[in-house]
Structure 1
Amino acid sequence: MPTLSRLEEAARELHTVLTDTSLGACVPRTGEYGSLVVSDSLEPEDVRKAVREAVRLAREDNAVLVLALLGHGFTSPQQTDLRFMVAGSSADSPISAVDVGGLLAEAVDEAGVEGVIALIDTCYSGGAMPDTGRIAGGVRSGQARLSVLTAAAADQQARGMRLTRALVRLLREGLAGAGAKVRVDGLLTGGLRERIVGQVIGRFEYDNDPFAQEDLWLARNVRFAPGATGGVVGPVGWQALEEAVTMWQAEKCLPAPLTRPVLEDLYGFVRQPEAVDAGDRSWHGRVTQLVGTLVECVRTVTLLNNVLAEVMSSDLLRTARQVSGLPHEAEGAELLRDLVEYAAVRAPREDEHPWRAPARFVAALVQTSGSDTAVARLREWARDLGVVTEFNDAVAEFTRKRQQDELRLVVSLAGALTDWPEEVEAWLLGAGGRLPAHERFLCETADRIGTSRAIGAALAWARGLLPATRQLENVDVAAPAHLIASWQPEEAPVDRRLLGVNHDVVVRWSGRMDPLNENAEMNDAARKALRHMVGCVSTPVEWIGASVLNDRQAFERDLMTGRYDTAVGIDHHPDALPDVLEQLLPYAPVILWPRPGSPPDRGWLRPLVHRHWHTLPEGLALAYRKRWSREHDGCVTCLGDVRTVWHDEAWLEFCRPFE
């Protein structure tokens, strides 16, 4: 194997970060098998002895073991088990190298070790995942915890110690949204994937220890705002106030922590006459306004916690954030505080009342919670702030939107086993009644045109069931994999226009409606994945390239073992897309891929999805309309070039009777 010129430098930098008490907080060790082993004459037994010594000390201290393997690695033909190479190792001699999966399985099975975090920066490091059956059947009966971070897929080379170098930079700079600790989770892998191109950064997590006192964390997060810790002001308010105070009086510093009494005392101080002339008068007004806003934010948070105590939850807050139009970055470590603060400090525009955005967020909370008793008390809050009109308008707007979102036409093409269906089925949801209305529509011809006409007939049928005051906007089209891969249902011609012109079309997979399959387990796994994705700060998409799809057997194993536990993005348009979708759809609730004919360069897709993720899937309908218009002229790539099949909680509930 060629010399790795950056290996020793990368290893020493990683060791420095991990043993920094303010970052990795690992205990450094010296001696023959210290915490950093760098040598060009190692034998496999040297690696095993070093790990055994580290495991022994971790066991004695009831500590978490962090193990990093940097260098060359290989997998044997027809196998994916990673072998870590030392001085005398040869790719044609597995016994000359170290079995990484076995090494990790033994380390995590040692009683007393609180957990193992493994960082594997070698070629083919995706093969480092240990056999979970071996862990489950070990001394601890599987009651152990393991997190593995890998530099490349099991069939992919890693170059330039990219994973280690990017990880060192990220830990030194901190990770936005991670809170006080950085963990080997979707947020960390997402941050690394944004920094590393040409390699598939992966992770594996095994957590089966019900007695763990603390979750596995890799390092302290330097981007966590220590100034706000223990106070009532979050990072957004702290940053804005600190900047304003500095511009007002450069020598002034904010007291920390900003508790409620301290904040109220500060508000009293800045309103005194002598404070006006103490510094830059133009910035004094900004400081006064900000402190007053933050005081009111604290009161608002207290009120909401009291009024909505029975229904307040993280899911409720995130849904209200989305409904009210606040961006995803408004979510912070303390959801309610940070959302209210963002709405009051960052969201207001110059041409509107400064409390309009918070009023919309509070209205969204009321409407989403379904608490009728809360409306009157929160309307008093809005009256005191002078935004009762804005509050009432928002409540009415969100109520109409909820009713509109609940009204959906589901069109199923499940009978299209190999080509186009001979009939389509339709259900009208949200129109009232105990059960959704249901009807079948024959296709005049079993082709694209006949299917489009049957969909048009289903639309006419649905309109006939609705009062004149209600308009159908949402259409779910459920189709088998081969049609999902080749057909854009929003472009189906219906009544002289394309279906997607007047309707928001979402593509679903009809396989979840198949009563011949036992879909309950599959749908429950999708529900779990969706709940996990809601809590992700970064874009929860696992990207796969052509190298992954070339080994379909290994890919199937990864799917079965839960490696792809969030949304899945295909970074190219495979020739065998129907087969790929057929393989993926039972596992992933959300799948994305580029539209046929879009630019083959894969570099545009990931940042595009990352930028628009929190508008999906609703944002796709508008993007497709723009793609049909002249606005798309001269556009190289846009959101309209992204295809997706999307299964949300509402769809899974619709599918429950078919399970």
Structure 2
Amino acid sequence: MSPPPAWEKWNKLEPHRLARYINPRAIAAWFAEAPAAPDRLSHVGGADRFELVAGLYRYMLAFDLRYDRTAIDFGDHRPGTQTVRTAEEVRADGGSCLDLSLVFAGICQHAGLRPIIVVLRDHMLVAVALATGVDDAAPRNGIVPGEEELLREGLQADRLKGKPVLLDRAIRETGQDGRYVLVECTGLSRTDRAQGPPGPLDFPDAVRLGYDQLVRGQLHHLVDPVYFHLRPDKAMHPYPIGLPGERAADAARAAEAVLGVHGTGRLTEMLKTLGLARPGRFTAAKLQRLQGIVAASGHEMAPRVADALADLLDTLRTTEFLTGSMASALHSDALRRAWREPGQPPAARPADLHTLTEYLEHIALHHHGERLGMHRWLASFVVRLATESEVSLDTAAARRWARDTGLVVDLNDMIRTVGEERRNARARLLISLHGAVADDWPPQVVGWWLLDGQPSDPRYEPNPSNDRAGLEHAIGRLVEWADELAGDEGIDLKRVDIAVPTGLLMLWRPEESDATGRLIRLYDVTTRWSGRLSRNSTRLARKRWRTIRAGTFDKSVAWLEKRSTTNLGKLTGELRDGPQYQGGVGLAFHPRRQEPLLGTVLDHAPVLLWPDRGAVVDTIKAELHECWPDVPGALVEAYRDRIPGPARPLAGLRAVWDDEEWLRFCRRYAGE
């Protein structure tokens, strides 16, 4: 006996995913007939919700379930997983407090009741709502008015208040009034429990013990499965479970993925060219049948349609894998960051990409390089989602998905690539020229080697000639030093940040430092403002940086025309108080010999952009808008591409980019 393919161990750090193990229809099917009266689940009823809970509990006692007393710790916040038994396994072999609680919750939910999973540090039980049922939650996508103190978005609203609120609303003895009844679900089983009488408990004893367990226990989570099952995004809908007398694959069919609007529209158009009609919803099974029909058609367009079918079939398999095994990784920010096509320049993310289906179908319909390009992009997307959420891909489900989609090699390659990126990202060399006076070249430069965000002691390199060449030789020596330290850690140094004083921003491009070849060829060079090191506070810059990261390009950067910058006193007030200047600032002109202007803007904005002389600002803005989520990395690529040429418009944009890493370092440097 084995669980269905999508069934995974429960991660203790994901309480919401408990809802996925509660499949009311399947659980009710496995416990539909009892060996004693009432002998059918459908015959159980009650005059009110309390009597219905009692009737369901007494019905489940007839199954004489066994109890697994394996020690469980639901409160340990170290990464860890817990095996969850299916309803079939619980009926055959019994289960732990976790398994029995989930099964009883499914029985209650199937009857129209609202069970709440109560997760204590080392125990689990069920609270059943007596004032509301599934029908009350359905019109509001699972939200029930009046429960705001207890539940928010399906989970415990306040960890400090959850326990006293629930105890206040729960009944302690049968016959009392209350909004919840707490049920000790191990009472359904044959066991010698630590507290209470041995063997199965009758319902009044199970209620008393459930209340006492909450009084004594440390409450960690409350989970409302009805809320998650009613969510329109379906991310937490129940895992498919095989029903009695039916294969698990048949049970999963009702929950299998279907093509969305974009995939359905494109494929329907292609089928028309072959004289084929759309076969209703496009499921994986239907796409596989269409592959045979298309191959036999002999139409000149058949190879192109066959490729599209194969790509879209892979998206359906990927949807089922991700929603079944990595649901916790599927949120808007993660999808956006994982979306970029490998090996291609930064591009604008289409505005109509919101759901997982839309992202995957975009990959299938817009990839480069035929099937190979599709496989690389799909593998990159999945690996980056998993890496960001720290979800392991060393699972049976991941291996099965890679085999079914033909992505085994691509997946392994991408895991290696992303792993190297993450290892290399641990290291950074930070160089500052903050000793420079006005627009003079500094007599020395200082560098810090950062590993996992922790800086080394400063290392100073002299510039005895006090000129650009001497400066760049000093930078070269610091880079060699950091390269050796990185090698000792078994990683490659990729990131070099150079903090430049205002007076040199117009005279010198840090990425073109040329002591041993242009720095940008081998390193990702980002320009910082060294003036930030001498500021007493970075509070304003940090606040405005959060605005930049949270907003779109249009909301993140306010552009200044030259006529708006002639009065620096007036501009200072606008930068400080103006609602339009709450993020970064772009200059729509080249600020030649206007270092005071640059200093004024940088005093208030963590990001400053300006064009090179002769650059077309509108063209730069258009490309910047497309790749904004990838800045400053997109700028690094544009600068690097400019060396062999031809230069992209973005290569004509200069930037000071003081992000959270630099601001954090400045705070530490200043002792803020």
Place the TM-score, normalised by the shorter chain, in its bin: 0.5 to 0.7
2:515 — aligned with what?
Answer: 494
Cα drift, residue 508 of structure 1: 0.8
2:98 — aligned with what?
Answer: none
Deviations 1:363-396 (A, max 9, x none): 2222333323666532331122111011000110
Q: Pairwise CA RMSD of aligned residues?
A: 3.5
Q: 1:41-440, aligned counterparts within 5 Å?
A: 233-249=259-275, 263=283, 266-267=286-287, 270=290, 281-283=299-301, 290=308, 293-322=311-340, 324=342, 327-329=347-349, 332-350=352-370, 352=372, 354-372=374-392, 377-418=397-438, 419-430=440-451, 435-440=455-460
2:46 — aligned with what?
Answer: none
1:651 — aligned with what?
Answer: 662
1:556 — aligned with what?
Answer: 572
Contact 2:428 2:497 in 1 (8 A): yes
* TM-aligned CA distance change 1:339 to 1:364, over 3 Å: same
SS of 2:339's equivalent in the other structure is: helix
Cα drift, residue 290 of structure 1: 4.0
SS of 2:434's equivalent in the other structure is: coil
Q: What is the distance in 2 between the residues matched to 1:402 and 1:240?
A: 37
Q: What is the distance in 1 between the residues matched to 2:650 and 2:400?
A: 42
* TM-aligned CA distance change 1:521 to 1:308, over 3 Å: farther
1:639 — aligned with what?
Answer: 650
Aligned-partner residue type, residue 328 of structure 2: E
SS of 2:537's equivalent in the other structure is: coil
1:460 — aligned with what?
Answer: 480
Q: Which runs of 5+ in 2 are unaligned?
A: 1-256
SS of 1:573's equivalent in the other structure is: coil
Q: What is the distance in 2 between the residues matched to 1:437 and 1:580?
A: 33
The answer to which structure, 1 or 2, has the higher relative contact order (CA under 8 A, 6+ apart) is: 2
Deviations 1:203-227 (A, max 9, x none): xxxxxxxxxxxxxxxxxxxxxxxxx
Q: What is the distance in 2 between the residues matched to 1:233 and 1:558?
A: 50
2:124 — aligned with what?
Answer: none
SS of 1:522's equivalent in the other structure is: helix
SS of 1:466's equivalent in the other structure is: helix
1:529 — aligned with what?
Answer: 548
* TM-aligned CA distance change 1:446 to 1:347, over 3 Å: same
Contact 1:249 1:280 in 2 (8 A): no
* TM-aligned CA distance change 1:353 to 1:460, over 3 Å: closer
Contact 1:263 1:291 in 2 (8 A): no
Aligned-partner residue type, residue 527 of structure 1: R
SS of 2:458's equivalent in the other structure is: strand
Deviates further, 279-288 or 391-400: 279-288
1:543 — aligned with what?
Answer: 559
* TM-aligned CA distance change 1:374 to 1:424, over 3 Å: same
Aligned-partner residue type, residue 499 of structure 1: L
Aligned-partner residue type, residue 416 of structure 2: A
Q: What is the distance in 2 between the residues matched to 1:462 and 1:264?
A: 52
Q: 1:444-459, aligned counterparts within 5 Å?
A: 444-459=464-479
Q: 1:459-478, aligned counterparts within 5 Å?
A: 459-467=479-487, 469-478=490-499
Quick one: which of 608, 616, 633 aligns to 1:591?
A: 608
SS of 1:310's equivalent in the other structure is: helix
SS of 1:372's equivalent in the other structure is: coil
Q: What is the distance in 2 between the residues matched to 1:647 and 1:433?
A: 15
Aligned-partner residue type, residue 561 of structure 2: G
Contact 1:247 1:280 in 2 (8 A): no
2:631 — aligned with what?
Answer: 616
Q: What is the distance in 2 between the residues matched to 1:576 and 1:254?
A: 68
Q: What is the distance in 2 between the residues matched to 1:325 and 1:463?
A: 26
Q: What is the distance in 2 between the residues matched to 1:423 and 1:528?
A: 35
Q: Which has the larger radius of gyration?
A: 2
SS of 2:431's equivalent in the other structure is: strand
Cα drift, residue 615 of structure 1: 5.1
Aligned-partner residue type, residue 640 of structure 1: A
SS of 1:517's equivalent in the other structure is: coil
* TM-aligned CA distance change 1:627 to 1:265, over 3 Å: closer
Q: Does 1:582 align with 2:614?
A: no
TM-score by length of 2: 0.54
* TM-aligned CA distance change 1:351 to 1:373, over 3 Å: closer
Quick one: which of 558, 572, 585 aligns to 1:568?
A: 585
Cα drift, residue 507 of structure 1: 0.4
Contact 1:520 1:656 in 2 (8 A): no
Aligned-partner residue type, residue 651 of structure 1: W
* TM-aligned CA distance change 1:608 to 1:288, over 3 Å: closer
Contact 1:307 1:374 in 2 (8 A): no
* TM-aligned CA distance change 1:332 to 1:302, over 3 Å: farther
Cα drift, residue 526 of structure 1: 0.7
Q: What is the distance in 1 between the residues matched to 2:667 and 2:394?
A: 32
Q: Does 1:520 align with 2:510?
A: no
Deviations 1:426-448 (A, max 9, x none): 11123x69554532333324443
Deviations 1:65-87 (A, max 9, x none): xxxxxxxxxxxxxxxxxxxxxxx
Contact 1:426 1:458 in 2 (8 A): yes
Aligned-partner residue type, residue 551 of structure 2: H
Deviations 1:504-540 (A, max 9, x none): 21101123333x411133213212321224xx6x795
Q: What is the distance in 2 between the residues matched to 1:417 and 1:318?
A: 43
Q: What is the distance in 1 between the residues matched to 2:355 and 2:665?
A: 30
Q: What is the distance in 2 between the residues matched to 1:542 and 1:280?
A: 57
* TM-aligned CA distance change 1:276 to 1:504, over 3 Å: closer
* TM-aligned CA distance change 1:298 to 1:586, over 3 Å: farther
Q: What is the distance in 2 between the residues matched to 1:347 and 1:282?
A: 22
* TM-aligned CA distance change 1:623 to 1:311, over 3 Å: closer
Cα drift, residue 266 of structure 1: 5.0
Contact 1:559 1:587 in 2 (8 A): yes
Contact 1:566 1:589 in 2 (8 A): yes
Q: What is the distance in 2 between the residues matched to 1:271 and 1:470?
A: 46
% identical aligned pairs: 29
* TM-aligned CA distance change 1:423 to 1:304, over 3 Å: same
Cα drift, residue 542 of structure 1: 3.2
Q: What is the distance in 1 between the residues matched to 2:460 and 2:564?
A: 41
Cα drift, residue 655 of structure 1: 3.8
2:81 — aligned with what?
Answer: none
Contact 1:573 1:593 in 2 (8 A): yes
Aligned-partner residue type, residue 546 of structure 2: R
Contact 2:549 2:556 in 1 (8 A): no
Q: What is the distance in 2 between the residues matched to 1:248 and 1:371?
A: 42
Q: Which runs of 5+ in 1 are unaligned?
A: 1-230
SS of 1:421's equivalent in the other structure is: coil
